[in-house]
Amino acid sequence: MTSAASGDRAAERARGRWVLGIDVGGTGSRAALEPLDAPFGNDRRLLEGGRVAVASAGSTVLDVAAALVEATTREWPDVAITAIGVGATGLASLVSAPDAAIGRFRAAPDAPVPVALAVDALTAHLGALGGQAGAVVAVGTGAIALGTDLDAVWRRVGGWGHLWDDRGSGVWVGIEALKAAIRTHDGVTTDAAALLSAAESRFGPAPTWPGELLTRADRAGVIAGLAREVAALAADGDAAASAIMRTAGTEVASTLVAALDPELPRRASWTGGMFGAAGAYRDAFEAEFARLAPGADLHAPLGTPLDGAVRLARLIAAGDVPAQHPPFVWR
């Protein structure tokens, strides 16, 4: 065989054996493209995408995911993608008939097939536990836990939206900070001056908040951004911020423990941006988990939700993907 022919075959193998993982969250989205024949995580190519909006017509999550597929094929037009896995926030609650939307990805020029759409809790699980059975809580803009063995057991806890759920999440912390701040603004309390100052620095004067925040389709992600300032204030010893972060940590622990179905191993992990907040948040989370689930194995995540989306794509390419199991995964 000539070196030219060998090079042509190598190029064809590289072109035909790529997988695409997409992670769509409340504050942004990402895509990871990597060769199937390389070790997991090697030669990965990354793209950033847009933020999800939620309005009366539902969520734009599939539009965001489809835009990332198109952006990937534009960025690397010579790569033929073998399979795609999407993990998306709100897929089960805010998108009607996700299975029907799979055709959008297959119909696009050069789109990868087969395709699987999954709730973000599943790709978070695949990332944190690497395919092992157990429970994982994902805490970013929202908060959701999933206990599963990827076969017979599927237990969801949380993730029902920021108006009455998403306990301990970024948007929950942001809302609690705004509640405390507005009480101090109104003179009902005096303990949240630092939170009021942080919120006004981010969103403007308190009287403008209804017009600035309640009218936004992406308000969950916008409000969740305040959690960074709350965490920083807690780290500096602010009492009101520390109380919010401690409560958030305990709420997340209770969500995770509730996902530990009796049919699953007592194995658990976590993922998501909120776990970047150390101190009061992490301390409260770990202490409450130990109290509620003595003897359970709580260990650091093996990877991120984006890693989980890539793992999902690899499972699809290998024919090992979990069977279609609404409302967790659609194929």
Tens of each residue's pLDDT in the chain, 331 residues: 444 444 444 454 445 589 999 999 877 899 999 999 888 988 999 999 988 877 766 778 888 898 999 899 899 988 888 899 999 887 777 777 777 777 777 645 555 578 889 999 999 999 999 999 999 999 999 999 999 999 999 999 999 989 899 999 999 999 999 999 999 999 999 999 999 999 999 999 999 999 999 999 889 999 999 999 999 999 999 999 999 999 999 999 999 999 999 999 999 999 999 999 879 999 999 999 999 999 999 999 999 999 999 999 999 998 877 666 778 888 8
Q: Which amino acid is at 132?
A: Q
- Cis? peptide before 114, omega within 30° of 0: yes
User: What pLDDT shows up at residue 197?
Assistant: 98
> Where are the alpha helices (H) located in 95-212, listed in sequence order?
98-107, 120-129, 170-185, 193-203, 209
Predicted confidence at residue 148, as pLDDT, reads 96
CA distances from 82 to 113, 318, 327 (A): 6, 10, 24
Model pLDDT, residue 107: 47
pLDDT of the residue at 51: 80
Is there a shared CATH topology between the 3-130+304-330 domain and the 170-298 domain? yes
The residue count of the chain comes to 331
At 184, the amino acid letter reads T
pTM of the model: 0.86
Domain boundaries defined on the chain: 3-130+304-330, 170-298
At the second CATH level, the architecture of 170-298 is 2-Layer Sandwich (3.30)
Give the CATH fold of the 3-130+304-330 domain: Nucleotidyltransferase; domain 5 (3.30.420)
